[in-house]
Structure 1
C-alpha cells in the first residue's frame, strides 16, 4: 500500500514526528518507555468488559473486539513519521499539510493475529499483509518459527505487527527477530495488541527498546500457567469457534 508521497517540488527533507495526542505513554516506571496505551476511558473499559465476559455471545465478541482493534490500528498509524506536503484545494488555495513518509504493511502472528487484519484493511486500502506462524518447540520450550510469508519489499516498509494478546512476549520477540532477519529495522516495527501482561511488556521492551508497542489495556499479570489475568480467555478460540 502506498501513502501520499511528499510534494515533488518541495526540497524539504525534514522528517516530522507523527502526532501522538490520542495515545498515552505509560507512566509506570516498571514498564519500558516504548509502551503506549489507548486513553483509558469509560467507553473503552465498557468495550473490554463486554469481550472479557464469558457469557458474551460470539457475535458480540466479534463486534466489540473489532471496535477495539480499529481504535488500535488508527493509533498505530498515528506513530508513523510524516513529511511536509503542499497541496491545492478545490478553492485554488494552497494548503501546507503532511503526507506519510513511506509504505506500510501488516504482519499477523497466526492464528489470532489474523483477526486484526480486517481492522487494518478498513483504514488502509489495498494494504499488503504478511503472515508468520510461531509455536513453542516442545523439546526446547522456546518459540520456533514454522512459517512466514512477507511482501518482497518488506525491508523498505513500516510494519504493523498484529497479535491480540501479549503474555510472556516470547512469540512477539521471535516475530520481530524474524522481521529483522528480513531486513526490517526494529524502529520501523510497531507491535499492536489488545491486552498485555506487564511481564510480556518488560520482556519485549528490554529486548527491542526501539520497537513501539501499542496496547489497549495492561492487565494485572500472569498466573502459574502463563495465562493473562484477568484476561479474556483464548482470543482465537472465542473468535473462530462457534
Structure 2
C-alpha cells in the first residue's frame, strides 16, 4: 500500500526521531512511504490565533502538496483534526471545495490508520515499564480516537498499560493558550502529571508531541523521573535503531 506521509512542522523541528519512527512503523506494516519534501504546515497555528486568511494560504499549499493522495498518514492527531475539521471553515464552497473534501477523507492519524485501515495492532515492540495513555483533546474530540492507541500499547511486550484519573482532561498546552494563560496552563499540566504519578506510571504516552512537550517541561522543571513518549516511538522501540 502506498502512503503519503505528513510530518507537522512541530515534529519536523523538535522531534525528528518521531518522524523517522513513523516511517519505520509504516514500513513494517507493509506500506511504501512517500514524503513530499515541499510540505510545510497545515495552518493550525494561524487558524487558532484567528488569522484565517493566512491559515487559508497555508492550507491551500497543503491541498496542493497532497492532491490526489489515496492515503495520508500523520503522527499528529492535532494536525489531522485541523485538516478534517478546521478546513471546513476555510474551504467550504470555495474553488478547492472538492479537493479539500477528498483530502479530508484521505488523511488519518497514525493509530487510526494502523488499526482501522491496515487492521494491524502488533509490531513486536518492547518497552519495560508502567505507562498511562493521555487522550489529547484533538485525538479524542476531533478525530474520535480512543481505543486505537490503547490497543496498540497493550500489545507492546513488557509494557503495563494503566488508566489514570481524568485521562480525557486537557493537559494545558493548547498552543498559544500555554503562553497567554501560563498560570492556568501550568496548573493543568501539574494535575495531569500528578494523576499519572498516582497511577504508578513511569511513562506518559500520547499521539500528540505538543502535549508531550508541555508535560515533559513540567516533569523536567520538578526533577521527576517520569518520561513522556510519542506512540510512534513506543511502537518502534526494541526492534530497530531507535
> Would the TM-score normalized by the shorter structure come out above 0.5?
no
Write 1 or 2 for the structure with the bigger share of strand: 1
| Higher relative helix content | 2
With normalisation by structure 1, the TM-score equals 0.37
Question: Based on CA coordinates, which of the two structures has the bigger radius of gyration?
Answer: 1
Q: What TM-score results when the alignment is normalised by the length of structure 2?
A: 0.37
